Amino acid sequence: MGIRNKISQGYSYYLTLTIEEWIDVFSRPTYKHIIVDSLNYCIANKGLEVYCWCLMSNHLHLIASAKEEGNMSDILRDFKKFTNKAIIDAIKEIPESRRDWMLNLFWYAGKNNKKISRALGIKVWQDGNDAKEIHTTAFLEEKMNYIHNNPVNAELVANPEDYLYSSARDYSGEKGLVEIILA
């Protein structure tokens, strides 16, 4: 991990996890729920604390931290490793018109990467998390507004709280899909 993506213990971060080649994987509910379920698992079992999130078609935004006993770098590594395999398995199992195309691109992304196990050989996530430390309230608010308005700007919904795969629902008083901590 490069110095610009260095994650230190005890801080909250604005994170962007991006799919290789910006492939629009999260166009089907099955793939989206892999991310939702994995986030909730990491919250319940690994010490992840999520304050804000939004899953778009090819990337995931989070504002998150790790509890004292957790390590954010380890949590993100495990999250990516698990979801990498789960997404590939789902692509192989469900009827998917883009199956061969996606698997080929993910295979190509992982074929020369020493971090990818030879057995799987497929890489879904880009390296890094584009981690930016939350250092002021103004920066936090700016990033939360950006995250929640991402689906509006992509013209997926008219209002942030209408997007199911985002914490904007929680901030509008509705129950969202991921167990967040209101900031």
- Domain segments of the chain as ranges: 3-171
Q: pLDDT tens for residues 115-160? A: 665 556 789 999 999 999 999 999 999 999 999 999 999 999 999 9
Q: Specify the CATH number for 3-171; select among 3.40.640.10, 3.40.50.10680, 3.30.70.1290, 2.40.37.10.
A: 3.30.70.1290
* Helices and strands (DSSP H and E) totals, the chain: 5, 4
Is residue 3 predicted with pLDDT exceeding 50? Answer: no
pTM of the model: 0.91
Q: pLDDT tens for residues 86-126? A: 999 999 999 889 999 999 999 988 887 766 655 567 899 99
CA distance 171 to 87: 29
What SS3 string covers 60-83? EEEEEEECCCCCHHHHHHHHHHHH
